Amino acid sequence: MPLQNAALRVAGVNLEAVASAMPDGQVNGSANRAVTRHSRDTDVLLGGVGYRF
């Protein structure tokens, strides 16, 4: 789909949380949203588990 001589404007929102699950472990998650002026907003959800050794 070609752009129609318009500037593409995108804003973003990011939320992130990290919690200690054990003395050496952690659980983390983040949610990202790319917000545009049309109906093609995008949500990206990420999660993970980590262990320090």
For residue 14, the model assigns a pLDDT of: 85
The domains of the chain are located at: 10-51
As given in the structure block, the two tokens for residue 35 are 């917000």
As given in the structure block, the two tokens for residue 20 are 């200690």
Q: Are 27 and 18 in contact (CB under 8 A)?
A: yes
Q: What is the rounded CA–CA span in Å between residue 12 and residue 14?
A: 7
18 by DSSP, 3-state: which?
strand
For residue 10, the model assigns a pLDDT of: 64
> Taking the model in full, what pTM does it have?
0.59
Q: Give, for all 53 residues of the chain, the pLDDT tens digit.
A: 454 545 556 678 888 888 887 788 999 999 888 877 777 778 889 999 998 88
Q: Are 29 and 17 in contact (CB under 8 A)?
A: yes
Q: For 3, which DSSP code? A: -
